[in-house]
Structure 1
Amino acid sequence: MSNATDTQINRQINREINRQINREINRQINREMDLYILKHIDRLDGLCCGDIDTFDSNDVCGFTMNDVKKRASEIKEYRKELDVLLQLPLMKQRTEEWYEARKTRLTASDLYDAIKGNNVSIKLAKKKANIVVDTINYNGIPALKWGTMFEPMATRCYSQKMNDIAIHDFGLVCDTENEHFGASPDGINELGIMLEIKCPYSRKIEDGVIPEKYKMQIQGQLAVCKLKECDYIECVFKSLDSVEEYLALDCDDGNGNDIKHGVIAEYYNSKGEYVYYYSEANRTPKECVDDICGGCDNINPDKSLKFSKYTYWRLDEMIIQRVVFNAKAWETIVPKINAFWESVEEYKSLPLLPIETGMKKYMFVKDDD
């Protein structure tokens, strides 16, 4: 290999290293600024933008007060939209009402598949038209079960990392500009930043990489909620093999940071649907075991539920990436949503035929997520 080639490769490596360093520096600065504004959040709502100069600048680190003023003005607008959303009737996720509402509209989680224009899009349109029987047992898919079980713990870990920021829960939010579109955000924090949470079952996560399907989902959710920013959160949880291994867990990562951990008690009902109970945060492994494993009568008031198992877990990795709404790109997506729903209406108008069984294979990102 020539010296020129070696030099070129070294330059490429250095550029990539610098890019990663700059991305992390910018992310840290942005997070610190958001945390600074969070510290003054009670004052922010009552101030006009000019009054933001009255914030204490002594604890500002890494950015100017002009930066703070600009960011505070953005957050103020985000919180106005959040207040509007909080006035909407809550349609909790995975309830019968939620499932029924999803039948009459495309949702952001299916947006990527809907506008691809292939066999997956056709099957999805038939499903929405109610001429295809969805034969998937979603409770039996390990990746979906894993993600549902750990989503509340991912939300908790994110909140703790963001100085215990409050997270507001939402069910299905219907698009005010399109009656056949909606979204179910995983949460919105008190700064008005949306959350999209993924807890991969086996897929490797990588900083700087967001699967295209999830990018599209986030854009749809931001559009429906009229928000501008989303934290895309990926968490890798490890299920420990035994209670003994969990009790022996060293909760210090060696860098002065606490390792997040806990216990989940799993129950199921007569329909095979799972219900989860979680140990409290900021407790030792022994306290978590005593609370969950030693108090089944207290944690499970519904005696119709049957016990399944305990899951002892620790958080191995969490990556948070900020995604910004792209208004121009969204303008190109809206006509595709309308075209998809036109195809749904066309399928509805077909003569009644024997029910077609379809949707046999669930489309995951990469492997199992």
Structure 2
Amino acid sequence: MICINELKPLNDIFDTLEPPERNIPYNETDLEELRESIQMIITDFVENNIDYYKYEDFNDRVYEHTNEIMMNLYNNLIEVFEDINMYDFIMEGINIYFNLIGVPRSYKDSILTTPKKERNLAKHLDHLREIPQPQQRTDDWFQFRWNRITASSAWKILDSQASINQFIYGKCKPIDKSKYSKVNINSATHHGHKYEEVSVILYENMYNTKIEEFGCIPSAKCECIGASPDGINVKRSNPRFGRLLEIKNPVSREITGIPKKSYWIQMQIQMYVTELPECDFLETSFKAYESEEQFLEDGTFNKTKDGKQKGIVVCFNNGTEPIYKYPPINISQKNFDDWLEKTIEENTNLSWVCNTYWKLDSFSCILVPYNEKWMLSVIPKFKKIWDTILKERETGYEHRKPKSRKKKKITEENSENIVVVKVRTESFSNSLL
């Protein structure tokens, strides 16, 4: 028997130990084959589901499909590659595909692409300028729009049957000019109109460019389609020369940098009609100050305390509708006062209404490239719907009219579930005193 005090002292050998070599069951060739498999799955999905490009979650759909295939068909391989991050491999594959092979739905910002000198852009823009344009809100203008699928409403044709019916019904019924004469200054549409010029000024200032409007342009390839881009970059020395610009000024919608389905479709049609391959999608969110005092107290005349852009929109009225005037960006307070006085003197036919003091709350500008394969895949759908419109203008379209909901009749069986509440209102004013 050995006593514990008779044992020899132990030596610390921890630092001398080396882990055994791990027997990794795969090599670099296996990883390359895994990458190739992922690329094949992505390519197959995109090419066979070209219509999915229109969806806002298109990239998520590509990932989810690829991941599902990898998990189901390559389950044994997943166990072999258990120490690698499959998410990273799939995302790497998606990035490679859309950078080198396929057309991305959109980019993360307004990147500059490699210039393609396939034609004279200046000459092409001159051609677009020469296209006859009916004066806005004239009979010819109404007819022009009534007889075409416009880019802003084309998404309805690629939506539900209810949306298709609504679109056909709207194109068949007589033109309602009255809706263009009504102005609701509190509507989201008017908000976008009011700040659109501010967005253009900010864009021009940020990218040192010039934006020009081109009106409603008919397609030279499909006569039933037309588009009215917000503008086109026309500064020849700018690398964005010839790039379209589409502007959205949401009131409450969160700006994510990913175009909604309807907006993405709108831009694709604009590029198809103008034959220009790129469009900057600009989203700006403006917040109005409650007063001039609040505006002046927040930072400087041009920037908020937290560095956001500030400015002023001056509202006049011509007796029918509001007319907006926009001072130069980053103008000083003194120069603004001089500008306002001069603007009022030059517009004696207008009545000054108010100044709107704003700050830029959010700004996003991304590049959306033209997707020819997607566009060619939907042209037959547009033509089919347009043929239906032309036919039903002659044969009748009332069956397309949205059905009104019928009010539920009160019967003896359900009358006992009705609760009648009587409210006395004559004393409300007294109770608030």
Whether TM exceeds 0.5 here: the answer is yes
Q: 1:179 is matched with which residue?
A: 223
> Are 1:108 and 1:217, in contact at CA under 8 Å, matched by a contact in 2?
yes
* 2:189 alignment partner in structure 1: 144
Corresponding position of 1:215: 264
Larger radius of gyration: 2
Q: Which residue of 1 aligns with 2:359?
A: 314
Instruction: Give me the whole-angstrom Cα distance separating, in 1, the residues matched to 2:265 and 2:243.
Output: 17
Query: Residue deviations 1:26-66, cap 9 Å, x none?
Result: 867934xx7xxxxxxxxxxxxxxxxxxxxxxxxxxxxxxxx
Q: CA contact under 8 A between 1:92 and 1:170: conserved in structure 2?
A: no
Equivalent of 2:255 in 170, 193, 205: 205
Structure 1: how far apart are the matches of 2:138 and 2:206?
A: 30
* Residue 145 of structure 1, CA deviation: 0.4
- Aligned 1:196-345 pairs, distance under 5 A: 196-207=246-257, 209-250=258-299, 251-252=302-303, 259-271=308-320, 273-289=321-337, 291-292=339-340, 294-295=341-342, 297-301=344-348, 303=349, 305-345=350-390
Q: Give the AA of the match of 1:287.
A: N
Alpha-carbon distance, 1:124 to partner? 2.1
In structure 2, distance between residues paired with 1:160 and 1:224: 27
User: Bigger shift: 151-160 or 308-317?
Assistant: 308-317
Which of 156, 168, 178 lines up with 1:113 in the alignment? 156
CA, structure 1 residues 86+156, in 2 after alignment: closer, same or farther (shift >3 Å)? same
State the percentage of identical aligned residues.
Answer: 27
Name the residue aligned to 1:87.
Answer: 130
Given the superposition, is the C-alpha separation of residues 285 and 317 from structure 1 closer, same or farther in structure 2, using an over 3 Å criterion? farther
What secondary structure does 2:111 align onto? helix
Residues 253/263 of structure 1: CA separation in 2 closer, same or farther (3 Å cut): closer
Q: How far 1:98 sits from its partner (Å)?
A: 3.3
1:24-63 → structure 2 map (5 Å cutoff):
30-31=111-112
Shift of 1:8: 9.8
Preserved CA contact (<8 Å) 1:133 1:358: no
Q: Displacement, 1:187?
A: 0.4
1:310 counterpart SS class: strand
Q: Which runs of 5+ in 2 are unaligned?
A: 1-82, 235-240, 405-433
Shift, 1:113, TM fit? 1.1
1:312-369: CA deviations, max 9, x gaps?
112222111101111111111111111121221122113698xx7999xxxxxxxxxx
Are the counterparts in 1 of residues 109 and 367 from structure 2 also a CA contact under 8 Å?
A: no
TM-score normalized by the length of structure 1:
0.69
Cα deviations across residues 92-137 of structure 1 (Å, max 9, x unaligned)? 6666643331011110000001332522222221221225858867
Could you tell me which amino acid in structure 1 is paired with residue 359 of structure 2? R
Answer with 234-243 or 80-89: which moved more. Answer: 80-89
2:205 matched residue in structure 1: 160
How far apart in 2 are the matches of 1:313 and 1:8?
Answer: 50
Classify 1:94/1:266 alpha carbon distance in 2 versus 1 (closer, same or farther; 3 Å): farther
The one-letter amino acid of 1:130's match is K
- What residue is the counterpart of 1:367 in the other structure? none
User: How far 1:308 sits from its partner (Å)?
Assistant: 3.7
Question: C-alpha distance in 1, partners of 2:311/2:253?
Answer: 22
Go from structure 1 to structure 2 and tell me whether the alpha carbon gap of 1:275 and 1:97 turns closer, same or farther (over 3 Å shift). farther
C-alpha distance in structure 1 between counterparts of 2:361 and 2:331, whole Å? 18
Counterparts of 2:194 and 2:275, CA distance in 1: 28
CA distance in 1, matches of 2:326, 2:110: 33
Residues 28 and 120 (structure 1), Cα distance of their counterparts in 2 relative to 1, 3 Å cut: closer
Question: Take 2:215 and 2:315, find their aligned partners in 1: how far apart are those partners?
Answer: 23
Rate the CA distance shift 1:298–1:234 in 2: closer, same or farther, 3 A: same
Please, which of 218, 233, 242 is the counterpart of residue 192 of structure 1? 242
Measure the CA separation in 2 of the matches of 1:307 and 1:143.
23
SS at match of 1:283: coil
Q: Structure 1 residues 286, 93: closer, same or farther in 2, change over 3 A?
A: farther
**Paired letter, 2:219:** D
> Which residue identity is paired with 1:300?
N
Distance (whole Å) between structure 2 residues aligned to residue 343 and residue 331 of structure 1 = 20
The equivalent of 1:43 in structure 2 is: none
Does structure 2 retain, via aligned residues, the 8 Å contact 1:78–1:193? Answer: no
CA contact (8 A) 1:249 1:285 kept: no
TM-score (norm 2): 0.60
Q: Answer yes or no: is the 8 Å Cα contact 2:172–2:397 preserved in 1.
A: no
